Amino acid sequence: MKLTASQIAELLNGTVVGDENAEVFKLSKIEEGSPGSLTFLSNTKYTPFIYSTDASITIVNDDFIPEKEINTTLIKVPNAYTAFSTLLEHYNSVKSTKSGIESPVQISTSVSYGADVYIGAFSYIGNNVEIGDNVKIYPNCYIGDNVKIGHGTTLYSGVKIYSDCSIGDQCNIEANVVIGADGFGYSPNDKGVYKKVPQIGNVVIHDCVDIGASSTIDRATMGSTIVHKGVKLDNQIQIAHNVQVGENTVIAAQTGIAGSTKIGKNCQIGGQVGIAGHINIGDNVKIQGQSGITKNVKNNESLQGTPAFGFSDYYKSYVHFKNLPKLANSISVLEKNNKK
C-alpha cells in the first residue's frame, strides 16, 4: 500500500513541509530509514538521525525546527508519537481487511455469523456457534460447540476455543492460544492414585481483551473462569480454573495464576509472577516481576519478592542482603578478637 505525504497529513491532521507527493510503502526506524519508508521523531535523543535518514517522510512535532539541511519530507503534528501510533492502527486495519470463507473448512450447518466475516482454511467450527460481524478467524483454528464470538474479534492462526466458552467484542487472540481446556483438577484415592475431577464450567472473556500468543485459560470446574473488560495478557500466561481477572488489568509474560484466585481492577503484574490459588488481590495492585504471591493483597499495594512484601521494604532489605558477606566477615573478626 502506497501513501503520499499529503494523504498521510490529511489522515493525521498534520502539515506537510517539503514534497507533498513524496510516496511511502513501508515503515522504518529513523536510524534505519530508506527511500520509500515512513518514520517518526519524538524522542530528542534521536534528533541527529533526522539529518542523515534516507526515509522519504518523517513525522515530527509541531515545534521541531531543523538546524541544518534535511532530505526527508516532514509532516508536523502536535504529538509525533501519538500520530505514528494512529498511522500504525490504520495500517494494521487495512492489512487485516479480509472477508470470505476459504477452503477447505469444516463449518456446522447450525453456525450463525454476521457480515464481513473471514474464516481461514483448515478451520473447524462446531455446532450452534455464534459469530458476530467483522470477526476474523485465521487458518487452523478450532472452535467448539456453543461458542459465542463478539463483533470485531480476531482469532489468529492455531487458536483453540473449547465448547461453551464466550468471547466478547473487539478482542484480539494471538496464535496458539487455548481457551477452555480442562482445569488442573485431580483427587487422590486411598492408594495415592490421582483421579481426574471433571471440569464442566466454561471461560468468559469480556470485551476489548487482548491475549498473547500461546497463553492458556482453563475452564472452570463449575461456573466460569472470567477475564473482564479491557484486560491485556502477554504471551505464555497460564490462568487456571475459576480465576477472575478484573477490568483493565495487565499481566506480563510467563505469569501463572492458580485456581480460584480473584484479581482486582487496574492491576499491573510483571513477568514470571507466580500467584497461589484461592486468594484475593485488590484493585490497583502492582507486582514486580518474578514475585511470588502467597496470600491476600489489599488495594493499592506494590509488592516484590517471594514471598512478596512491600516494594520499598524489599529494596531496603536487598541492600542489607548484598552486604551479608561483609557483615559475616565482620562478625568473624569480632569473634576472633573476643577469644584472644
**Domain ranges, ordered by start, for the chain:** 3-95, 100-314
Q: Look at residue 308 in the predicted model and tell me its pLDDT.
A: 67
Res. 206: pLDDT tops 80: yes
Q: What is the arithmetic mean of pLDDT over 287-306?
A: 93
> Considering only 177-186, 245-254, 328-337, which range has the smallest mean pLDDT?
328-337
DSSP state of 297: B
Res. 88: pLDDT tops 70: yes
Q: Is 228 a catalytic residue?
A: no
Q: 93 pLDDT band (50/70/90 cuts)? A: confident
> Considering only 194-208, 220-234, 324-338, which range has the smallest mean pLDDT?
324-338
Mean pLDDT of the chain: 92
Number of Cβ within 10 Å of residue 55's Cβ equals 29
Q: What whole-number distance in Å separates Cα of residue 227 and Cα of residue 116?
A: 26
Q: What whole-number distance in Å separates Cα of residue 21 and Cα of residue 250?
A: 42
Q: 315 pLDDT band (50/70/90 cuts)? A: low
Q: 245 pLDDT band (50/70/90 cuts)? A: very high
Q: Look at residue 336 in the predicted model and tell me its pLDDT.
A: 78
Nearest by Cα to 270 from 224, 223, 222, 305: 305
* Residues across the chain: 340
> Cell 501519538 belongs to which residue?
82
- Alpha carbons within 13 angstroms on the beta-carbon side of residue 31 total 6
Q: Which CATH superfamily is domain 100-314 in?
A: Hexapeptide repeat proteins (2.160.10.10)
Q: Look at residue 319 in the predicted model and tell me its pLDDT.
A: 66
Res. 208: pLDDT tops 80: yes
Neighbouring-strand partners of residue 290: none
Q: Considering the candidates 206, 228, 241, 278, report the single residue annotated as catalytic.
A: 241
> Cell 472452570 belongs to which residue?
220
> Considering only 120-134, 216-230, 295-309, which range has the smallest mean pLDDT?
295-309
Q: 330 pLDDT band (50/70/90 cuts)? A: confident
> Considering only 10-14, 89-93, 131-135, 151-155, which range has the smallest mean pLDDT?
89-93
Matching fold, domains 3-95 and 100-314 = no
Q: Look at residue 49 in the predicted model and tell me its pLDDT.
A: 96
3-95 is a CATH 1.25.40.10 domain? no
80-95 and 5-12 are packed helices; what angle lies between their axes, rounded to 10 degrees? 110
> Considering only 5-19, 92-106, 218-232, 247-261, which range has the smallest mean pLDDT?
92-106
Res. 321: pLDDT tops 70: no
Q: Look at residue 314 in the predicted model and tell me its pLDDT.
A: 64
Res. 150: pLDDT tops 70: yes
CA dist list (Å): 58 to 9, 16, 52:
11, 10, 12
Q: Look at residue 262 in the predicted model and tell me its pLDDT.
A: 98
Q: What whole-number distance in Å separates Cα of residue 282 and Cα of residue 264?
A: 5
Q: What whole-number distance in Å separates Cα of residue 180 and Cα of residue 207?
A: 17
Q: What is the arithmetic mean of pLDDT over 127-148?
A: 97
Q: What is the arithmetic mean of pLDDT over 212-220?
A: 98
CA dist list (Å): 30 to 5, 35, 41, 42, 190:
16, 12, 7, 10, 67
Res. 84: pLDDT tops 70: yes
Q: What whole-number distance in Å separates Cα of residue 276 and Cα of residue 293?
A: 6
